Structure 1
Amino acid sequence: MVFPAGGRPDLSMTMKFKDKLQQAPWWLLVAFLLALILGWNILADQSYELIFNALSKGIWMTLKVTFIAFLSAVSLGLVIALAGFSSIRLIREVVRFYVEIIRGIPVLVLLFYVAFVVAPALVDGYNWLLQKPIELGWLDSARTRDFNMVWRAVFALTISYSAFIAEIFRAGIQEIDKGQIEAAQSLGLKDRYVFRFIIFPQAVRKVLPPLGNDFVAMIKDSALVSVLGVQDITQLGKVYSSSTFKFFETYNVVAFLYLILTISLSLMVRGLERHLRRFERH
Structure 2
Amino acid sequence: MDWDWSVIVEYKDLFIRGLLVTIELTVVAVAVGMVIGITSGFMRISRNKWFIPAKLYVDLFRGTPLFLQILFFHFAVLPTLAETFGLEAPDAMISSFVALSLNSGAYIAEIFRGGIQSVDQGQLEAARSLGMTYPQAMWHVVLPQAFKQMLPPLGNEFITLLKDSSLVTVIAVNDITYAAFVTAKNTFVRWAPYVTAGLMYLVLTTILSQMVSYLEKRFQTNRY
C-alpha distance in structure 2 between counterparts of 1:240 and 1:194, whole Å: 55
For residues 83 and 43 of structure 2, the distance between their equivalents in structure 1, rounded to whole angstroms, comes to 29
Return the match for 2:75 from 102, 116, 123.
Answer: 116
Number of the residue aligned with 2:188: 245
Q: Higher relative contact order at CA 8 Å, sep ≥6: structure 1 or structure 2?
A: 2
CA contact (8 A) 2:7 2:183 kept: no
Distance of 2:44 and 2:158 partners within structure 1: 23
Q: Given residue 109 of structure 1, which amino acid in structure 2 is its aligned partner?
A: L
Q: Which amino acid aligns with 2:97?
A: V
Aligned-residue offset at 1:49: 3.1
Question: Does the C-alpha gap of structure 1 residues 90 and 235 become closer, same or farther in structure 2, counting only changes over 3 Å?
Answer: same
Give, as a single letter, the amino acid of the residue that structure 2 aligns with 1:202. Q
* Equivalent residues of 1:209, 1:272 under 8 A apart: no
Q: For 1:162-173, list aligned pairs within 5 A.
A: 162-173=105-116
Report the Cα distance in structure 2 between the residues aligned to 1:150 and 1:54, rounded to whole angstroms: 16
Of 127, 140, 149, the residue aligned with 1:197 is: 140
Provide the rounded CA distance (Å) in 1 between the counterparts of 2:19 and 2:185: 19
Distance 1:143 1:275 in 2: 47
Residue 49 of structure 2 corresponds to which residue in structure 1?
89
Distance 2:145 2:160 in 1: 24
1:86 and 1:265 mapped to 2: Cα distance? 32
Aligned length: 222
Q: Which has the larger radius of gyration?
A: 1
Picking from 8, 15, 23, the partner of 1:63 is: 23
Give the alignment's TM-score, normalised by structure 1. Answer: 0.73
Q: Pick the aligned partner of 2:202 from 259, 270, 281.
A: 259
Shift of residue 280, structure 1, vs aligned partner? 4.2
The answer as to whether partners of 1:153 and 1:225 remain within 8 angstroms in 2 is yes
CA distance in 1, matches of 2:73, 2:6: 40
Superposition pairs for residues 32-111 of structure 1, below 5 Å?
A: 46-91=6-51, 93-111=52-70
Distance 2:137 2:91 in 1: 41
What is the alpha-carbon distance in structure 2 between the residues aligned to residue 120 and residue 47 of structure 1? 37
CA distance in 2, matches of 1:232, 1:269: 24
Task: Provide closer, same or farther for how the CA distance between residues 280 and 148 of structure 1 changes in structure 2, counting only shifts above 3 A.
Answer: farther
Is 177-186 or 262-271 further displaced after alignment? 262-271
1:149–1:48 CA distance, 2 compared to 1 (3 A): closer
Distance 2:74 2:7 in 1: 35
Q: Which residue matches 1:22? A: none
> What residue in structure 2 maps to residue 182 of structure 1?
125
**In the alignment, what sits opposite 1:143?**
88
Does 192-201 or 172-181 show the bigger shift?
Answer: 192-201
Deviation at 1:48, TM superposition (A): 4.1
Structure 2 runs not aligned, ≥5 long: none
> Deviation at 1:196?
1.7
Residues 169 and 178, structure 2, Cα contact 8 Å, conserved in 1: yes
Cα distance in 1 for partners of 2:73, 2:13 equals 32
Aligned residue type for 1:151: I
Displacement after TM superposition at 1:223 (Å): 0.4
Shift of 1:53: 4.7
CA distance in 2, matches of 1:188, 1:220: 46
